[in-house]
A and B are shown apart, each in its own frame.
Chain A
């Protein structure tokens, strides 16, 4: 297997954080390696449609008010061509700490080629994925994650349905429902667990970024004007297949009822993609505001592992704008640690503090409904890879009294499937905590294991003879 000579800094993820980090490193005279799974830069938020679909999907339609930012990032990065060792279609499936310091990254390219790459400093900008509170019926055909619904639109110029139901919690519900409306869909309803009151009470924090807050208000007004029912303070309780489509039963501030659509997109916020940081041994902490485990960093994105930095949503869900700030700041922190000039950090730190206030507001306005985990009906599938239900987990918890969620995984298979427990791990931990009267922070979280994503065969493996 070829091992390349050490470059100075590697970045994983070409979303807003990774792109801004790359630009800052180039400005300092380095040639960073930028590793990204997608064929083109932009990340999830500024994902670009395939070239053939671009005429149909203008940036204004795809990215809304962020279109100018998206364009600036895409064009800014294009201008760096040659100055960055950009490797699209490259999955980092494992990483190790080298004895001599720095890291070795194991790469798999979509072509099937495998290689290893050594770096002295590493910036993880791996983004986030959907966080989902499962409900009976969430594994039915036609039910998507919110992120999946957005990928369908941005990446395929397609809709998951003509009149999808959007259910869960968080600003993405309104954003994606709005994008679907703009793209010709007719959202059947938005069912948002967050109450109007909670949003009002979050205003003092949200006011740290008034423009963004007002944009959210405008988004809901637009949906309302189009006649989309917005059920605030209501929980999607279960989904069932009916003759006329998928029925989402809800209950909450406005009583009970159901909405029927031809597809359902669910999401209850986002969750950092932190498996590589776990494998590299970064310290984590349970964040009571975000109601999930976050990798611990200092104010400039340094992790507990020397030479390893985190930027963007993988360090905490702050959104695309903050990801740009953090990407640049983190790159400067890495430069400073490498003994290079890295001016301008104080201003970036101040900007991040403002964005952090806004994040706290979002966590107050759209709290993850973790209190509902305790009451998940037994028949709810929690681990869809292995088909493990809430009832199976409760039974195992009673039988084994597991000390932590990894033991619960061992006894039930929950979290052993292809998603590596990304979707079910927190829910299993929540059930373990509630069933044993502990705080969720005291039952641990699933350990990351390589490969962090399903690893296809490599081309270097085209062995014809079996030689042990």
Chain B
């Protein structure tokens, strides 16, 4: 049986959001604008984790089919950030170019192009010659590529903080340095969240937007969301001649790269290590060798440009690489939005808008079934075996 829309259970649900990344902050903003009393509880500082240190890609190109409607919905919000939250967050749309190293890699590009076009996107497939003509800065060894205009990037360090700031202006309460120590079900169908120094937060709806730590929060509430913490490693070079137009990705996924307005080349590839405490991560030695070498092979003109910094962030990855979004069948009013498996930045604003609709109207506006929090649940028969 479909649960009744939350709005019908109580006129204005009190919403408590766990986690102040881009997902939590955007959700707080859209809900507060929708009139909900919202409280956002962030363990550290808003946007200081994966939301603030990721690559900054705003990309629909090549997304998993299940994510595409949400990615497209989110992309529509990005150009409105100045109007919505008071800052454009350095959003730029030079397009996204995915390149194939082998003829075999052209096949998935062609297959995805058909899917993208069916969703209304413009996708230009480039053969070897066209790629070389349009993007002469790339190595000439590539087999071809696929270009999606309208994709781009934004400044990850600004997005969550500006969403949280705008949410506060709409009346949301944003608490930083405020970890959730325990979540308790109350007899009346609501929740009590316990914070530091005996702080208690009562809520009708809880949104678990705790990113890589969302699995642990779900576990506290009896829901098994298997999640692995990984630490993608990023690099930035000294500023150099502006020659790289689009955001670049490889079909193999080995490297993703863009050039900032100031000329720095920012790229990701490989993974660092996550500290056993799950809270810290650091770059890995072998990645320091491998990823820059790949970039220099891909873009020969970068051969002499030194690296100035490398960093990692912690993201939560699910077994199927899709996020966990929606209400858990086992507990009405408990909504998960975590485990974005590296896709949370682009989709964050769209998730916020979608969860607003879900919470206020009962209708998310798009199909979230592929993201069901219950999809990993082990049948009781197997669990007892």
Q: A interface vs B, CB < 8 Å? A: 1, 94, 96, 104, 106, 114, 116, 386, 399-400, 403, 407, 410-411, 416-418, 420, 449-451, 454-458, 460-461, 463-466, 468
Q: A466 touching B101 by the CB < 8 A rule?
A: yes
Q: B101 touching A410 by the CB < 8 A rule?
A: no
Q: B297 touching A464 by the CB < 8 A rule?
A: yes
Top 6 closest pairs, chain A to chain B, by CB: A468-B254, A454-B306, A461-B293, A455-B307, A466-B297, A410-B157
Closest to A447 in B: B311
Q: B285 touching A116 by the CB < 8 A rule?
A: yes
- CB-defined contacts of B296 to chain A, threshold 8 Å: 457, 461, 463
Q: How far is the CA of A465 from the CA of B296 in the complex (A)?
A: 10
Q: How far is the CA of A386 from the CA of B262 in the complex (A)?
A: 9
Q: B308 touching A454 by the CB < 8 A rule?
A: yes
- CB-defined contacts of B158 to chain A, threshold 8 Å: 411
Q: B292 touching A457 by the CB < 8 A rule?
A: yes
Given A106-B288, A466-B294, A468-B255, 20 more pairs with CB closer than 8 A: A400-B161, A403-B45, A410-B48, A410-B52, A418-B308, A420-B309, A449-B309, A450-B283, A450-B309, A451-B309, A451-B310, A454-B238, A454-B308, A457-B292, A457-B296, A457-B304, A458-B293, A463-B293, A466-B254, A468-B294
Q: A468 touching B48 by the CB < 8 A rule?
A: no
- CB-defined contacts of B309 to chain A, threshold 8 Å: 416, 420, 449-451
Closest to B177 in A: A403
Q: B161 touching A411 by the CB < 8 A rule?
A: yes
Closest to B284 in A: A96
Q: Which of B94-145 contact A (CB under 8 A)?
A: 101, 139, 141
Q: A449 touching B311 by the CB < 8 A rule?
A: yes
Q: How far is the CA of A116 from the CA of B289 in the complex (A)?
A: 11
- B255, B288, B303: which has the most chain A beta carbons within 10 Å? B288
Q: How far is the CA of A392 from the CA of B149 in the complex (A)?
A: 33
- CB-defined contacts of A418 to chain B, threshold 8 Å: 238, 306, 308
A-B CB contacts (within 8 Å), total count: 85
B334 within 8 A of A: no
Q: Smallest Cβ distance from B182 to chain A, in angstroms?
A: 25
Q: How far is the CA of A403 from the CA of B176 in the complex (A)?
A: 10
B241 within 8 A of A: no
Q: How far is the CA of A104 from the CA of B297 in the complex (A)?
A: 28
Q: How far is the CA of A460 from the CA of B286 in the complex (A)?
A: 12
Q: How far is the CA of A94 from the CA of B285 in the complex (A)?
A: 9
Q: How many residues of B contact A (CB 8 A)?
A: 39
The one of B52, B250, B285, B292 that contacts A106, using a Cβ cutoff of 8 Å: B285
Q: List 17 A-B contacts (CB under 8 A).
A: A106-B288, A403-B45, A403-B177, A418-B306, A450-B283, A457-B293, A457-B306, A458-B289, A458-B293, A460-B289, A461-B292, A465-B297, A466-B101, A466-B141, A466-B254, A466-B298, A468-B254
- CB-defined contacts of A116 to chain B, threshold 8 Å: 285
- CB-defined contacts of B177 to chain A, threshold 8 Å: 403
- CB-defined contacts of B48 to chain A, threshold 8 Å: 407, 410
Q: How far is the CA of A133 from the CA of B298 in the complex (A)?
A: 42
B252 within 8 A of A: yes
Q: A455 touching B306 by the CB < 8 A rule?
A: yes
Q: Smallest Cβ distance from B112 to chain A, in angstroms?
A: 19
Q: B161 touching A468 by the CB < 8 A rule?
A: no
B148-175 contact mask (Cβ, 8 Å, vs A): 1 or 0: 0000000001100100010000000000
- CB-defined contacts of B254 to chain A, threshold 8 Å: 466, 468
Closest to A419 in B: B308
B263-284 contact mask (Cβ, 8 Å, vs A): 1 or 0: 0000000000000000000010
Q: How far is the CA of A386 from the CA of B157 in the complex (A)?
A: 15
- CB-defined contacts of B294 to chain A, threshold 8 Å: 463, 466, 468
Q: Smallest Cβ distance from A103 to chain B, in angstroms?
A: 12
Q: Smallest Cβ distance from B312 to chain A, in angstroms?
A: 10
Q: Smallest Cβ distance from B364 to chain A, in angstroms?
A: 32
Closest to B302 in A: A457
- CB-defined contacts of A456 to chain B, threshold 8 Å: 304, 306
Q: Smallest Cβ distance from B259 to chain A, in angstroms?
A: 15
The one of B157, B176, B285, B303 that contacts A457, using a Cβ cutoff of 8 Å: B303
Q: How far is the CA of A410 from the CA of B53 in the complex (A)?
A: 9
- CB-defined contacts of B292 to chain A, threshold 8 Å: 457, 461
Q: B52 touching A451 by the CB < 8 A rule?
A: no
Q: Smallest Cβ distance from B142 to chain A, in angstroms?
A: 9
- CB-defined contacts of A96 to chain B, threshold 8 Å: 285
Q: How far is the CA of A400 from the CA of B174 in the complex (A)?
A: 13
Q: How far is the CA of A116 from the CA of B303 in the complex (A)?
A: 22
Q: How far is the CA of A418 from the CA of B308 in the complex (A)?
A: 6
Q: Smallest Cβ distance from B344 to chain A, in angstroms?
A: 18
Q: B297 touching A454 by the CB < 8 A rule?
A: no
- CB-defined contacts of B45 to chain A, threshold 8 Å: 403, 407
- CB-defined contacts of A410 to chain B, threshold 8 Å: 48, 52, 157
Q: How far is the CA of A1 from the CA of B238 in the complex (A)?
A: 24
Closest to B283 in A: A450
- CB-defined contacts of A451 to chain B, threshold 8 Å: 307-310
Q: A450 touching B306 by the CB < 8 A rule?
A: no
Q: How far is the CA of A468 from the CA of B294 in the complex (A)?
A: 7
- Known contacts A403-B45, A454-B308, A457-B303, A411 near B157 by CB under 8 Å: yes
Q: Which of B11-55 contact A (CB under 8 A)?
A: 45, 48, 52
Closest to B252 in A: A468
- CB-defined contacts of A461 to chain B, threshold 8 Å: 289, 292-293, 296
- A106, A116, A420, A454: which has the most chain B beta carbons within 10 Å? A454
Q: A463 touching B285 by the CB < 8 A rule?
A: no
Q: B307 touching A463 by the CB < 8 A rule?
A: no
Q: Which of B46-74 contact A (CB under 8 A)?
A: 48, 52
Q: Smallest Cβ distance from A108 to chain B, in angstroms?
A: 10
Q: How far is the CA of A275 from the CA of B343 in the complex (A)?
A: 33
- CB-defined contacts of A420 to chain B, threshold 8 Å: 308-309
The one of A104, A386, A464 that contacts B285, using a Cβ cutoff of 8 Å: A104
- CB-defined contacts of A460 to chain B, threshold 8 Å: 289
Q: Smallest Cβ distance from B102 to chain A, in angstroms?
A: 10
B309-332 contact mask (Cβ, 8 Å, vs A): 1 or 0: 111000000000000000000000
Closest to A449 in B: B309
- A400, A403, A466, A468: which has the most chain B beta carbons within 10 Å? A466
Closest to B270 in A: A468
Q: B304 touching A94 by the CB < 8 A rule?
A: no
Q: B289 touching A1 by the CB < 8 A rule?
A: yes
- CB-defined contacts of A417 to chain B, threshold 8 Å: 308
- CB-defined contacts of B308 to chain A, threshold 8 Å: 417-418, 420, 451, 454-455
Q: Smallest Cβ distance from B271 to chain A, in angstroms?
A: 12
Q: Smallest Cβ distance from B315 to chain A, in angstroms?
A: 18
Q: Smallest Cβ distance from A222 to chain B, in angstroms?
A: 42
Q: How far is the CA of A106 from the CA of B289 in the complex (A)?
A: 11
- CB-defined contacts of B255 to chain A, threshold 8 Å: 468
Q: Smallest Cβ distance from B52 to chain A, in angstroms?
A: 6
Q: How far is the CA of A116 from the CA of B284 in the complex (A)?
A: 13
- CB-defined contacts of B139 to chain A, threshold 8 Å: 466
Q: How far is the CA of A466 from the CA of B255 in the complex (A)?
A: 10
Q: How far is the CA of A1 from the CA of B290 in the complex (A)?
A: 10
Q: How far is the CA of A97 from the CA of B148 in the complex (A)?
A: 44
Q: Smallest Cβ distance from B92 to chain A, in angstroms?
A: 16
Q: Smallest Cβ distance from A140 to chain B, in angstroms?
A: 20
